[in-house]
Structure 1
Amino acid sequence: MSEAQIVITPVSGKKGRARFVDLGREFAARLPHSVPQLRGEQLELIDSGKNPFFGHARTQLFVAERGGRDVGRISAHIDELALAMPAEQGFGPGTGNFGYFDAEDEATAHALLATAEDWLRTQGMTRALGPISLSIWEEPGLLVRGQDHAPMIMMGHHPAEYRGWIESFGYTTAKSLLTYELDISREFPPLIQRIVKTGERNERINVRRVDKSKWDQEAAIVLSILNDAWSDNWGFVPFTPEEVAYAGKKLKPIIHEPLNMIAELDGKPVAFMLTFPDINSELSRIGGKLFPFGWFHLLRWLHKPKQANMRVPLMGVLKELHNSRLASQLAFMMISEIRRAAESEFNGQRGEIGWILDDNQGMVAIADAINSTVNREYLIFEKAL
């Protein structure tokens, strides 16, 4: 008996999005160390009426069926802002993306990739880059190292075999993204401590906690620095004003003042560092479900996390200070203050920094200097269409 045919179906609307998300949740549940996420949040990210990413993007979701059963999914999407970026920065004219990639076997994986590529070609694209789900600021890359431990907040988790399936369909590595693990119960090396103390004596420098009572203004400061600081980086796509407002609203519940810093030079904000307590530990405990009692446990945890590990997903220093000693000094000052707070106020033991581009020499040097080590690697692949 021949194997049943794989049928790829485009999905849309409320029912289609629910089918797409629930299928992804089924795949995640099969994977060791995976953490169930909140279904409502996952649905919102692919809803054009709620996520402002769709204000500058075209997207199509696909589901693969075989024998009457869903066996895979993929998104194909084009970010208009990414098309406008210089090609040497990763995106550029003609570059479309695939994301939300899940497949039961290699044949299904290839059928899904072929379908996404065909859709991108119909939209005039000449290159596919992925997986990126959906925005570069959400979950970029395929996990290829680090499947042996649970992911932290806002990080993807994928089976090891996906890499081979993607590469066997003609994709090559475009970029490697790294995360670094840090023991936050340990003091930084003496040299870093001296750099921090020297900065604390500099009257021009003020490293302060974010003021959550003015969070909208603080979020605007942070994201304006980010848009400047990262503007020359590989994969950069600027935040729109709508995305700034949306991100600020979504991040507010996990913002704790002692863990988030803005650095000022002569009274001007020039750098920031955001740190999130790892909500995945609580999501794992409640099974990713708010009802019947998950919402109560989650709200209590968000108010004051206990024994929480930490992730530093974003930091930035204005470009005018790049390649200066001051830039690294500000980074060390912020992360030193956050480390102390994470340990003393939240009983944190472990931190994770990243993602960091593998060729970002400045950030890699900072990670190395504080004795952190690579614990996870994600790859973004590319292919000419």
Structure 2
Amino acid sequence: MAQGEVIITPVSGKADRKAFIDLAYRINASDPHWVPPLRMEAEELITPGKNPFFEHADVQLFLARRGDAVVGRISAHIDHLAIAMDPSQGMGPGTGNWGLLEAEDETVANALIARAEEWLRGKGMNRVLAPISMSIWEEPGQLVKGFDHPPTVMMGHQPERYNDYIKALGYQPAKTLNTYELDITKEFPPLIQRIIASGEKNPKIRIRQVERSKFDQEAALILDILNDAWSDNWGFVPFSDTEIMYAGKKFKPIVREDLIMVAEYEGEPVAFMMTLPDLNEAIKPMGGKMLPFNWAKLLLWLRKPKVRTMRVPLMGVRKRLQSSRLASQLAFMMIEYIRRNAIREYGATRGEIGWILEDNQGMNAIAEAIDSHINKVYVIYDKPL
């Protein structure tokens, strides 16, 4: 273990921000399964005015140094939309967060987490949920299973040792998040096929793909269903209007009409499923850099993605239909239609669904019914301050 006193200082100015971003690339360079984010994306995440999270959150970034060497980093933040939620949903008054942890060793990690906790206490927080980097909608949780393969787009990947550091500081699991992997080249079990066929014969059911020409309307519809479907979920935090516009702009380059389905029942949109081609497959070899030629490679890939993996980051069924047979039937139909398109149009062979809360019985049952299995597990930890 390295020797020398660890000094923690708040991030201040461009040089510190650059050091904060650079550290992740250095610490994770030897991990073959870590996906270096594009540097412009990493910078955007931590910059007020670029990331709308800052409009409803207090954020403080910290760097750890030994002498002149940067050896660690962490973010501490309070999401005011999250603390306004009912405590029964996981967040609520007095709950702060930390995330974006990178540390050369346990001594550094301990010092950084202690400083983040101190900052949160100073802001009146009495509890911490972590790691969350930085919004619950971005990269929540510490990876505890699935270190042997890269994460898909918008999923985190941290060293296993961080989990040991966190637990040793008295943090207890608050919630487990699972992702499910499946071989999409295989047809679903006969029972599921019969459920899908039955739905196709039902004149009240219509499964349609979104229309890119009506992108804003479709995005608003999906978010309306999402807010209704997820509103009682653990950890739910509503999107702000600015975040909705930001997400729409960010997703637009990788959105494909035939990979996002809306289910209508008696003419009313009641469910949706969003699937994204795994952008991480394209950016992993780039090392975070767009220059000199990676920008051209990325543009070419975006024109017609060919990927191994498709990720289902979001799906939802209106609350009044949840736990019904119809909800499961619509989900199976949307998954099947997207599965066919993913194979035919994009050459995909693998799907990943998640994250899904460990106690979301409906979604876990759907995932298991189509012969998928848990491939990654993340834990969000809880600690009183």
TM-score exceeds 0.5: yes
Shift of the alpha carbon at 1:68?
A: 1.6
Distance in 2 separating the partners of 1:340 and 1:313? 18
Instruction: Tell me the equivalent position of 2:5.
Output: 5
Distance in 2 separating the partners of 1:20 and 1:262? 40
Letter in 2 for 1:107: T
CA deviation digits over 1:199-223, x for unaligned, max 9?
1111111111111111111111111
Instruction: Tell me the equivalent position of 2:358.
Output: 358
Contact 2:192 2:369 in 1 (8 A): yes
Distance 1:307-1:60 versus aligned 2 partners, 3 A rule:
closer
Instruction: Tell me the equivalent position of 1:185.
Output: 185
How do 1:165-244 residues align onto structure 2 when only pairs under 5 Å count? Answer: 165-244=165-244
Distance in 2 separating the partners of 1:78 and 1:95? 7
Instruction: Tell me the equivalent position of 2:346.
Output: 346
Letter in 1 for 2:82: A
Distance in 2 separating the partners of 1:27 and 1:362? 39
How do 1:69-218 residues align onto structure 2 when only pairs under 5 Å count? Answer: 69-218=69-218
Distance 1:307-1:11 versus aligned 2 partners, 3 A rule:
closer
Moved more, 151-160 or 26-35: 26-35
Letter in 2 for 1:369: A
How do 1:214-363 residues align onto structure 2 when only pairs under 5 Å count? Answer: 214-363=214-363
Distance in 2 separating the partners of 1:204 and 1:311? 28
Distance in 2 separating the partners of 1:28 and 1:222? 36
Instruction: Tell me the equivalent position of 1:68.
Output: 68
Instruction: Tell me the equivalent position of 2:50.
Output: 50
| Aligned residues: CA RMSD | 1.1
Shift of the alpha carbon at 1:268?
A: 1.5
Letter in 1 for 2:314: L
Contact 1:90 1:234 in 2 (8 A): yes
Contact 2:72 2:103 in 1 (8 A): yes
Which 4+ residue blocks in structure 1 deviate beyond 4 angstroms? none
Distance in 1 separating the partners of 2:245 and 2:311? 22
Instruction: Tell me the equivalent position of 2:380.
Output: 380
Distance in 1 separating the partners of 2:25 and 2:85? 33
Distance in 2 separating the partners of 1:314 and 1:261? 11
Contact 1:94 1:124 in 2 (8 A): yes
Unaligned runs of 5+ in 2: none
Unaligned runs of 5+ in 1: none
Contact 1:308 1:348 in 2 (8 A): yes
Q: Secondary structure at the match of 1:29?
A: coil
2:34 corresponds to 1:34? yes
Contact 2:77 2:97 in 1 (8 A): yes
Contact 1:184 1:351 in 2 (8 A): yes
Distance in 1 separating the partners of 2:134 and 2:59? 9
Q: Secondary structure at the match of 1:47?
A: coil
Contact 1:31 1:158 in 2 (8 A): no
Distance in 1 separating the partners of 2:210 and 2:194? 25
Shift of the alpha carbon at 1:287?
A: 2.8
Letter in 2 for 1:293: F
Q: Secondary structure at the match of 1:102?
A: strand
Distance in 2 separating the partners of 1:270 and 1:29? 44
Contact 2:19 2:70 in 1 (8 A): no
CA deviation digits over 1:218-247, x for unaligned, max 9?
111111111111111110000111111110
Moved more, 12-21 or 180-189: 12-21
Distance in 1 separating the partners of 2:299 and 2:254? 10
Q: Secondary structure at the match of 1:31?
A: coil
Distance in 1 separating the partners of 2:66 and 2:12? 19
Distance in 1 separating the partners of 2:216 and 2:55? 21
Shift of the alpha carbon at 1:43?
A: 0.8
Letter in 2 for 1:300: L
Distance in 1 separating the partners of 2:357 and 2:27? 27
Contact 1:262 1:272 in 2 (8 A): yes
Letter in 2 for 1:108: V
Distance in 2 separating the partners of 1:276 and 1:283? 14
Contact 2:75 2:98 in 1 (8 A): yes
Counting matched residue pairs gives: 384
CA deviation digits over 1:136-193, x for unaligned, max 9?
0000001110000111111111111111101111111111000000101000111111
Q: Secondary structure at the match of 2:47?
A: coil
Moved more, 22-31 or 240-249: 22-31
Shift of the alpha carbon at 1:52?
A: 1.2
CA deviation digits over 1:277-303, x for unaligned, max 9?
111111123333211110111111111
Identity %: 61
Shift of the alpha carbon at 1:306?
A: 1.6
Letter in 2 for 1:314: L
Letter in 2 for 1:311: R
Q: Secondary structure at the match of 2:73?
A: strand
Contact 2:277 2:307 in 1 (8 A): no
Distance in 2 separating the partners of 1:151 and 1:264? 32
